[in-house]
Amino acid sequence: MSISEADVQGALKNLIDPNTKKDFASGKSMKNVKIDGNNVSLDILLGYPAKSVVGEIRAMIEAHLKAALPGSSVSVNVTSKVVQHTVQHGAKLVDGVKNIIAVASGKGGVGKSTTAVNIALALSAEGARVGMLDADIYGPSQPTMLGITGQPNTVGGQFMEPMTNHGLQAMSIGFLIGSDDTPMIWRGPMVVQALDQLLRQTKWDDLDYLIVDLPPGTGDIQLSLAQQVPVTGAVIVTTPQDIALMDARKGLKMFEKVGIKIVGIVENMSTHICSKCGHEEHIFGSGGGEKMCADYNTELLGSLPLDIRIREQTDSGTPTVVADPDGNVAKAYKQIARRIAVKVAEMAQNRSAVFPKVVVENT
């Protein structure tokens, strides 16, 4: 039988990407189709990092095409590319950064920073270039969680080189203060200025994603940060507890008011797993995250357990995704991270770079 590009496209319309839930043809991921008799080759370009599932996707597409095109020989090359997406109106973009993902919570103590660092590490494990900005000026925790000590080097007297560990580029006020017990006794405007300097005076190196660990709450400081940082999307971290959900709703509404898209909600400490017997129990209640998502028409990105190993691993500077990459908890973080990346990929792209700058001069 004679094979045409239309045959290949028609076949891929019936094959769904398990991550995007869209078919490979209409999703515009099919590229460079070449046909030589019964030999078919093509590229699949994914808009999200997918290092751990590339082999599965390739095998799935090749098997599907061989079945749909009897007698054909099929070769598929699967790659991924993360592009820059739009941010809230009026926010100035950051050099060296494609997408900024804010991880926030309405209140402290819900595991926001732990969730943020593991999401960052999970995206990195999938092949993305990822940075971590610790925006919690009063209580910086990322230096400890990432196991980074020392101070950043300066470049040209103006920029700081990000600190690195576990494949992440990182910046935090914690790298610049004298010791772990040095308090930051600053008023709001000073904090906002400090964050802007950490963000824009760090020489980020071609990041696909910069994860920003925001301070908890919804006060003047958080609102100022949300308005000045060019955020692609926000992830809200909560626990199933009613009081945490109440504050998380306020955080979500804050982002909506400043025009920042909500990527979804992560329910942390969803269940407690006994370290002795493995018994699982909903000690903070259940179903709260799902109800909040239904109320605000957003997505529950995933649920995470209250597990002593998560605390032990982050305290030691080796978070779960690095310490136990094949464990069930790491798999949960990776599923959440992949879902975040997919949802970001579906957002409108920032095409400002393709338009020429128009300069009007008086002559």
CATH code of residue 126 = 3.40.50.300
Any domain includes 119 = yes
Asked whether the beta carbons of 238 and 110 are under 8 A apart, the reply is: yes
Whole-number pLDDT of residue 124: 97
Query: Of 80, 111, 146, which closes a domain?
Result: 80
Domain count for the chain = 2
Whole-number pLDDT of residue 107: 79
pLDDT tens for 186-198 read 666 777 888 888 9
Do residues 104 and 42 share a domain?
no
Burial letters 333-343, b for 16+ CB under 10 A, else e = bbebbbbbbbb
How far apart are alpha carbons 218 and 213 in whole angstroms? 14
Any domain includes 16 = yes
Question: At residue 351, does pLDDT exceed 80?
Answer: no
Q: When comparing pLDDT for 293 and 243, which is higher? A: 293
Structural domain range at position 67: 5-80
pLDDT tens for 170-185 read 999 888 876 566 666 6
Any domain includes 177 = yes
Q: What is the mean pLDDT of residues 48-74?
A: 93
Whole-number pLDDT of residue 187: 67
Whole-number pLDDT of residue 1: 60
Query: Of 24, 53, 80, which closes a domain?
Result: 80
How far apart are alpha carbons 284 and 305 in whole angstroms? 11
Whole-number pLDDT of residue 360: 58
Percent of the residues in the chain that have a pLDDT greater than 70, as a whole number: 92
pLDDT tens for 232-280 read 999 999 988 887 888 888 889 888 888 899 999 999 988 887 777 877 7
Q: Which two tokens stand for residue 193?
A: 């200025």
Query: Of 80, 105, 128, which closes a domain?
Result: 80
Whole-number pLDDT of residue 156: 81
How far apart are alpha carbons 20 and 341 in whole angstroms? 10
Any domain includes 200 = yes
Q: Is the dihedral of CA 151, 154, 160, 165 positive or negative?
A: negative
Q: When comparing pLDDT for 59 and 195, which is higher? A: 59
Whole-number pLDDT of residue 323: 96
Q: How many CA atoms lie within 13 A of 297 on its CB side?
A: 2
Do residues 152 and 233 share a domain?
yes
Q: How confident is the model at residue 164 (pLDDT cuts 50, 70, 90)?
A: very high
Do residues 103 and 234 share a domain?
yes
Any domain includes 88 = no
Question: At residue 77, does pLDDT exceed 80?
Answer: yes
Q: Could you tell me the pTM of the whole model?
A: 0.90
- Residue 57 is part of a domain; what is its CATH number? 3.30.300.130
Do residues 147 and 236 share a domain?
yes
Whole-number pLDDT of residue 121: 98
Tell me the pairing of strands 207-213 and 97-104. Answer: parallel
Any domain includes 110 = yes
Among the residue ranges 14-18, 223-227, 358-362, the one predicted with the least confidence is: 358-362
Do residues 183 and 268 share a domain?
yes
Do residues 179 and 69 share a domain?
no
Whole-number pLDDT of residue 142: 93
Question: At residue 358, does pLDDT exceed 60?
Answer: no
Q: How confident is the model at residue 220 (pLDDT cuts 50, 70, 90)?
A: low
Do residues 47 and 121 share a domain?
no
The residue type of 273 is: I
Question: Residues 6 or more apart from 351 whose CB is under 8 A from it?
Answer: none
pLDDT tens for 104-125 read 988 788 899 999 999 999 999 9
Any domain includes 300 = yes
Q: How confident is the model at residue 356 (pLDDT cuts 50, 70, 90)?
A: low
Do residues 165 and 140 share a domain?
yes
Do residues 326 and 235 share a domain?
yes
pLDDT tens for 16-25 read 999 999 999 8
Q: How confident is the model at residue 355 (pLDDT cuts 50, 70, 90)?
A: very low
Do residues 101 and 140 share a domain?
yes
Do residues 151 and 293 share a domain?
yes
Among the residue ranges 109-118, 161-170, 277-286, 297-306, the one predicted with the least confidence is: 277-286
Any domain includes 363 = no
Instruction: Write down the mean pLDDT value for the chain.
Output: 88
32 alpha-carbon distance from chain centroid: 29
How far apart are alpha carbons 99 and 93 in whole angstroms? 9
How far apart are alpha carbons 106 and 221 in whole angstroms? 13
Do residues 111 and 62 share a domain?
no
